[in-house]
Structure 1
């Protein structure tokens, strides 16, 4: 069965399984992620030259860019789905 799956898929599944096992053994999730969250916040504070108000605006802008990117991706998927349905109704799939 493994021979039928690409090596990258096998590695990804193994990594995901290991990650889930690791998180299952974690008793205090917030403590485990605190260093990463602090570094993430520090990045915005550094970009804002230490101004917490500007850092908050930079953080909001970052998340808004992510939301925009997500909305565009969803719209593209919807468009592709509609185009596929139209093509199948027009007999485009028939050979």
Structure 2
């Protein structure tokens, strides 16, 4: 019977992915088709111009880096806000001890 709980499905999928990668001897060869497809996508978007394709590729990965940095900042701010709220609760005698 398949697992119906999302957290358990994610965990099972993560386990399967780790086992699959552990059984992969040549990681580069396994990912080569995906890298070629992404390069072809950028080249197509650039109308066949390799220089423009490289710029599109750089912009794509810099956009991913920006989103990652923003996400890490928001997570840090949320953690800091939660810690401040807990400290405030403790100061007034409430919250978890």
Number of equivalent positions: 91
| Matching residue of 1:56 | 54
> Cα distance, 1:6 vs. partner?
6.2
| Matching residue of 1:94 | 94
1:47-80 CA-partner distances (Å, limit 9, x unpaired): 0001010001001101111111111111111211
| Partner of residue 74 from structure 1, selected from 55, 72, 85 | 72
Q: TM-score, normalised by structure 2?
A: 0.80
- Higher alpha-carbon deviation: 35-44 or 9-18: 9-18
| Partner of residue 83 from structure 2, selected from 66, 85, 92 | 85
| Matching residue of 2:63 | 65
| Matching residue of 2:33 | 35
> Cα distance, 1:21 vs. partner?
2.0
List runs of 5+ in structure 1 lacking aligned partners.
Answer: none
Counterpart-to-counterpart distance in 1, 2:43 and 2:25: 30
List runs of 5+ in structure 2 lacking aligned partners.
Answer: none
**RMSD over aligned Cα atoms:** 2.1
| Matching residue of 2:21 | 23
